[in-house]
Structure formats: structure tokens, C-alpha cells
């Protein structure tokens, strides 16, 4: 294997990372990392962060981090110069020091003065920055969904754990007190045996993207770098900032976009692993649109002791329980419904006066939702950087939620039931489906084996 020089690694053009391990092996971690195998930030230290991906969510994350006085943002990387300048301005407005700006996020990996990175790139660009950051001794706050494939997620989890990194996934609902209370209630057993969990997102967004033509990328954008490991194709404004979500090359549609949040609540409360999935869906709302992922989808995910029914629609805003999004836990005694605005419990009927309904439950009136939980999520990450304790959305939790969403998407794409072995993280008896557990990387980018 050709040894890649440090200069090549840090250069502006993507270089072969056949490998990443060669590079990382030749990468000299700081004395501190060498001695401790981890960075431990003392409670008095200032924490030096960098942001990778400064679009809508990157800016929101950055602002939450900067609300803490101890945070210093030293660098920002983005392949879009305009977004990069916007990020730099945000830091300049709150701090005296101007952060360094890079087009190539790998420049950040080489810096020893950076304790943590925020990864807020599009989903297809989560895996490599997270893996490199873990390998170079940085903690990570990575946006949801963890990755675009189950295989990428597994490698990311391994990279985090083997390098003793703190990695928080941006599923901020875990830091909302009302979600914590609702999950505690579900776990208490009061609802009785939970056989059905329903989760949904009905987004009354503009929906249709229309059919814009391919064109030249904006001059301020390094489009080839934006594509990165995704297949090469001409630039199209719909397959770009923000709306990349609706294309298989970069994301998994609403199933992974909001599924990563809502299914995460299911996994948190139910503590079981999926054993199969089936799904139907299509572009029923916007059939002539350039969007690829289903605007309407119903997925049924099988767990050993219950079924998860997922529903989504783009372009409609009223779902079950008159809520645009939510999770419903249906037990033999009652039903708990939770969303970002609050939670409540409804009692089941008792028509037959069944003696096995040992807990005759009372309805719980609506408990109001908490607010500002994105900030608390970021705060939890910073606290865990100091204590080295597991953050509330530790990377393996993000991987579990994303796995369920990806399985449902494999089922919707192949239009059949997918049987899943959660221990081996492999599809059972279906080679075509197994291929979709990973994804092909465009050369020279390579997903390392970890
Ligand atoms: N936690 C939440 O509630 C929440 C909300 C919205 C988005 N998100 C997640 O945040 C991520 C970003 O979404 P968005 O809506 O902000 O997208 P966006 O398109 O607005 O921003 C992505 C940014 O990443 C940049 N980028 C692309 N490739 C890059 C690379 N190789 N190096 C550096 N920068 C690169 C783009 O130029 C852009 O500025 C997604 O994974 C999304 O799912 C999370």
C-alpha cells in the first residue's frame, strides 16, 4: 500500500485513504493523548472546538456551544465559502478571536489544540469526519441521523469506543425533561404490556421541489468535495443544501431525517433490538417531482415483543392524535403519547372487566413540553467531555435508532420483508438486501475497516 504523506493528507484535494489507517498510523497524536489515551478536559479548562459543516444546523449547533463562556471556536470548515464566512461571523460576534476557516475539514484533524468537533455536514459526510476525529483524539458532537448506512454507523461506533472518545449524537430530545419523564413512565410498567408502538411525522412543508435542471455549481462551492464519497453526478440545486435529504445518495428521506429523532425515543423506552422490517411507500403526493425518497411511507418494524408502526407524509401536517409528529406507546392498560410539546396518558377501555388488568390506570393529563433542550444537549456533551461519562445520546444509541430507520428503508426500496440479525448486524438470507446495509464509496474516499 502506498504510504501517504502528511502533506498529501492535509492538502486541499481529496486523497486516497486506502488508507485512513495508514494516515492515522502516521499521524502523531499529542503527548497528552499518548499518555492518557484520551483528552481529559479539567473543569477549569477552556474547551476548544471546531465546526465541520456550517449550514442550517451547523450554525444552530455553533450558537448553542457559544452560549457557554468556556467554549472557544478555533476553526470552521465548509466547502461553501459563503456558509464558511457566515460561521466565522457568528464566532466573531461573540468572541474576540476569529476562527480559522478551511475548505478541507482534514486540516482540523491535524490540530492538537482542538478538543472537540461538531459534525453538521449532510448525512453522507458524517462518517469520515467522525472517524478521523476519533482517531486523532477529539471528542465529537455529530448530527443525526448518525450515518447513511448501518455499516458506516458500526464503523463509527467502533472508532469512538476503541479510541475512548465521547461522541454525542444530535438527538436532542434525550435532553428534554418531558421526554425523560415520558420514557420513565413507559419504563415503569404502568401501561401494562406494550405490544404496539406507533411513531410518525407529518410535515406540512412545501414538499415538492419541482424539477430543476442540472447546472453549473455556484462558484463559491467545491462541489466535488461536497459529493465526497457519494456518486459523481452533475450539480442540481435540488440535490444540495438542505434538500439533499430527499435523495438516496446523501440521505434516507423523512424515514431517517425525523425517524432518527422519533425512533430514538422508541429505542430508549423499549430497550429491544429489531429482528425484521417491511414497508410500503412512494411519491404519491409529488409523483413528478425530482425528489427520490417516498413522500408517503408506512414501515412496520418487528421486535421480539412488539411491533413498531412508522408513518410519514410530506406536505400534510396532521398525523395520529392530531399531532404532526409523535410516539404512541400502546399498552394493555393505557396509551402514552409524547411529542415535542408534551405528553399524556389515556386509559384503555375496561369493557370486559378483565381480572388480568391488574393496574386500573388513571389518565395522566397533559404534561407541558420543556424548552431549550438543544442547549441542554450540548451542555451534557461538554460535561461528559470533562467527566468522561456516557453522554445521553451516546453514539451507540444513535446507531440503534438509525439502524431501525435504515432497515425500514431497505424494505421500502426492495418492497419486501427484511429479516435482521441484530447481533451480527446482518440481513438474514437476502444478498440483495445485505448489499444495502453498506454503501459504495466513490474513490478516492474509503470507509476504513474498524
Ligand atoms: N438535530 C436536529 O434537530 C437537526 C435539524 C436539522 C438538521 N440536522 C442534521 O444536520 C445535518 C446538516 O443538515 P442541514 O439542514 O444543516 O444541511 P445544510 O445543507 O444546510 O448544511 C450542510 C453544510 O455542510 C457543508 N458541507 C458539505 N460537505 C462538506 C464537507 N465535506 N466538509 C465541510 N462542510 C461540508 C455544506 O456546504 C453546508 O454548509 C444533517 O445531517 C441533518 O440531518 C439535525
Mean pLDDT of 395-415: 98
Inform me whether the pLDDT recorded for 357 exceeds 90.
Answer: no
User: Ligand 1 mean position to 245 CA, how many Å?
Assistant: 10
Q: Are residues 406 and 390 in the same domain?
A: no
Residue 441 lies in a domain: no
Whether a cis peptide bond, with omega within 30° of 0, leads into 239 is no
Q: Which ligand 1 atom is the nearest neighbour of the CA of 245?
A: 43
Whose cell is 409524547? That residue is 338
Q: Are residues 165 and 238 in the same domain?
A: no
pLDDT band, very low/low/confident/very high, at 417 (cuts 50, 70, 90): very high
3-state secondary structure (DSSP) of residue 76 = strand
* pLDDT value, residue 1: 31
* pLDDT value, residue 344: 94
Judged on CB neighbours under 10 Å (0-12, 13-18, 19+), 241 is middle
Cell of 136: 486523532
Residue 168 dihedral angles phi and psi, to the nearest 5°: -105, 130
Judged on CB neighbours under 10 Å (0-12, 13-18, 19+), 364 is middle
Q: Are residues 137 and 35 in the same domain?
A: yes
Q: Which residues line ligand 1 (CB under 6 A)?
A: 52-58, 77-80, 83, 105, 120-123, 125, 143-144, 170, 172, 225-226, 228, 241-242, 257
Inform me whether the pLDDT recorded for 367 exceeds 50.
Answer: yes
Q: Are residues 262 and 283 in the same domain?
A: yes
pLDDT band, very low/low/confident/very high, at 364 (cuts 50, 70, 90): confident
More confident: 395 or 30: 395
Q: What is the largest CA-CA distance in the chain?
A: 75
Inform me whether the pLDDT recorded for 332 exceeds 50.
Answer: yes
Q: Are residues 147 and 205 in the same domain?
A: no
User: Ligand 1 mean position to 169 CA, how many Å?
Assistant: 14
More confident: 353 or 364: 364
The residue whose CB lies within 8 Å of the most ligand 1 atoms, and thus the one to mutate among 122, 124, 129, 247, is 122
Residue 320 lies in a domain: yes
Inform me whether the pLDDT recorded for 11 exceeds 90.
Answer: no
Q: Are residues 122 and 259 in the same domain?
A: no
Inform me whether the pLDDT recorded for 218 exceeds 90.
Answer: yes
Mean pLDDT of 52-56: 98
Inform me whether the pLDDT recorded for 34 exceeds 60.
Answer: no
Query: Helix count (H) and strand count (E) of the chain?
Result: 15, 16
Total tally of structural domains belonging to the chain = 2
* pLDDT value, residue 78: 98
Residue 309 dihedral angles phi and psi, to the nearest 5°: -110, 115
Residue 195 lies in a domain: yes
* pLDDT value, residue 15: 28
* pLDDT value, residue 356: 59
Q: Are residues 202 and 166 in the same domain?
A: no
Ranges 163-177, 311-325, 342-356, 390-404: which has the least confidence: 342-356
User: Ligand 1 mean position to 58 CA, how many Å?
Assistant: 6
Q: What is the CATH number for 258?
A: 3.30.360.10
Cell of 83: 456558509
pTM: 0.90
Pick from 393, 332, 337: nearest CA to 200: 337
For the stretch 151-166, pLDDT in tens is 999 999 999 999 999 9
* pLDDT value, residue 370: 84
Q: Are residues 160 and 247 in the same domain?
A: no
Cell of 82: 459563503
Inform me whether the pLDDT recorded for 8 exceeds 80.
Answer: no
* Atom 1 of ligand 1, nearest CA residue: 170
Residue 442 lies in a domain: no
Q: Are residues 132 and 196 in the same domain?
A: no
More confident: 33 or 207: 207
For the stretch 236-258, pLDDT in tens is 999 999 999 999 999 999 999 99
d(CA 19, CA 387): 33
Q: Are residues 228 and 361 in the same domain?
A: yes
Residue 48 lies in a domain: yes
Q: Are residues 329 and 183 in the same domain?
A: yes
Radius of gyration of the chain (CA): 22
Instruction: Give the domain range for residue 112.
Output: 6-173+380-394
DSSP code string of 330-348: EESSEEEEEETTEEEEEEP
Q: What is the CATH number for 101?
A: 3.40.50.720
Residue 449 lies in a domain: no
Q: Are residues 162 and 241 in the same domain?
A: no
* Atom 31 of ligand 1, nearest CA residue: 226
* Atom 38 of ligand 1, nearest CA residue: 55
* pLDDT value, residue 105: 97
* Atom 33 of ligand 1, nearest CA residue: 78
CB 14 within 8 A of CB 445: yes
Q: Give, in degrees to the nearest 5, the angle at Cα 25 between 24 and 26.
A: 90
User: Ligand 1 mean position to 55 CA, how many Å?
Assistant: 5
User: Ligand 1 mean position to 78 CA, how many Å?
Assistant: 10
Inform me whether the pLDDT recorded for 345 exceeds 60.
Answer: yes
* pLDDT value, residue 17: 27
% of the chain beyond a pLDDT of 90: 82
* pLDDT value, residue 371: 87
Amino acid at each position: 500500500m502506498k504510504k501517504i504523506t502528511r502533506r498529501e493528507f492535509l492538502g486541499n484535494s481529496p486523497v486516497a485513504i486506502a488508507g485512513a489507517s495508514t494516515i492515522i498510523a502516521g499521524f502523531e497524536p499529542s503527548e497528552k493523548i499518548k499518555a492518557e489515551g484520551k483528552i481529559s478536559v479539567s473543569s477549569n479548562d477552556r474547551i476548544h472546538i471546531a465546526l465541520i459543516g456550517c449550514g442550517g444546523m451547523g450554525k444552530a449547533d455553533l450558537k448553542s456551544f457559544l452560549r457557554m463562556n468556556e467554549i472557544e471556536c478555533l476553526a470552521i470548515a465548509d466547502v461553501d465559502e459563503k456558509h464558511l464566512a457566515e460561521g466565522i461571523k457568528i464566532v466573531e460576534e461573540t468572541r474576540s478571536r476569529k476562527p480559522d476557516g478551511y475548505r478541507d475539514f482534514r486540516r482540523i484533524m491535524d490540530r492538537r489544540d482542538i478538543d472537540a468537533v461538531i459534525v453538521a455536514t449532510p448525512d453522507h459526510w458524517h462518517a469520515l469526519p467522525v472517524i478521523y476525529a476519533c482517531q486523532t483524539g477529539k471528542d465529537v458532537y455529530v448530527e443525526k441521523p448518525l450515518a447513511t448506512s448501518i455499516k458506516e454507523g458500526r464503523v463509527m461506533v467502533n472508532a469512538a469506543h476503541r479510541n475512548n472518545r465521547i461522541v454525542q449524537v444530535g438527538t436532542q430530545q434525550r435532553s428534554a425533561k418531558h421526554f425523560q419523564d415520558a420514557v420513565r413512565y413507559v419504563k415503569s410498567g404502568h401501561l401494562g404490556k406494550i405490544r404496539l408502538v406507533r411513531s410518525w411525522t407529518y410535515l406540512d412543508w412545501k414538499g415538492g421541489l419541482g424539477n430543476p435542471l442540472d447546472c453549473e455549481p455556484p462558484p463559491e462551492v467545491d462541489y466535488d468535495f461536497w459529493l465526497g464519497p457519494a456518486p459523481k453526478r452533475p450539480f442540481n440545486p435540488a440535490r444540495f443544501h438542505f434538500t439533499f435529504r430527499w435523495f438516496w445518495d446523501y440521505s434516507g428521506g423523512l424515514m431517517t431525517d425525523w425517524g432518527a429523532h422519533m425512533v430514538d425515543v422508541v429505542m430508549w423506552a423499549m430497550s429491544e433490538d429489531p429482528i425484521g422490517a417491511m414497508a410500503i411507500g412512494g411519491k404519491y403526493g409529488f409523483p413528478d417531482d425530482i425528489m427520490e425518497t417516498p413522500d408517503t411511507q408506512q414501515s412496520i418494524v418487528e421486535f421480539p415483543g412488539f411491533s413498531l408502526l412508522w408513518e410519514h407524509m410530506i406536505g400534510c401536517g396532521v398525523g395520529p392524535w392530531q399531532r404532526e409528529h409523535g410516539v404512541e406507546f400502546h399498552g394493555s392498560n393505557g396509551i402514552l403519547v409524547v411529542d415535542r410539546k408534551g405528553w399524556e396518558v389515556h386509559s384503555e377501555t375496561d369493557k370486559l372487566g378483565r381480572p388480568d388488568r391488574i393496574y386500573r390506570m388513571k389518565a395522566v393529563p397533559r404534561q407541558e413540553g420543556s424548552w431549550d433542550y438543544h442547549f441542554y444537549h450540548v451542555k451534557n456533551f461538554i460535561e461528559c467531555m470533562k467527566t468522561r461519562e456516557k453522554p445521553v445520546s451516546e453514539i451507540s444509541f444513535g446507531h440503534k435508532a438509525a439502524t431501525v430507520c435504515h432497515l425500514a428503508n431497505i424494505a421500502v426500496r426492495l418492497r419486501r420483508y427484511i429479516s435482521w440479525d441484530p447481533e451480527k448486524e446482518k440481513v438474514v438470507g437476502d444478498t440483495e438486501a445485505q448489499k444495502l446495509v453498506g454503501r459504495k464509496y466513490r474513490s478516492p474516499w474509503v470507509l476504513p475497516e474498524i
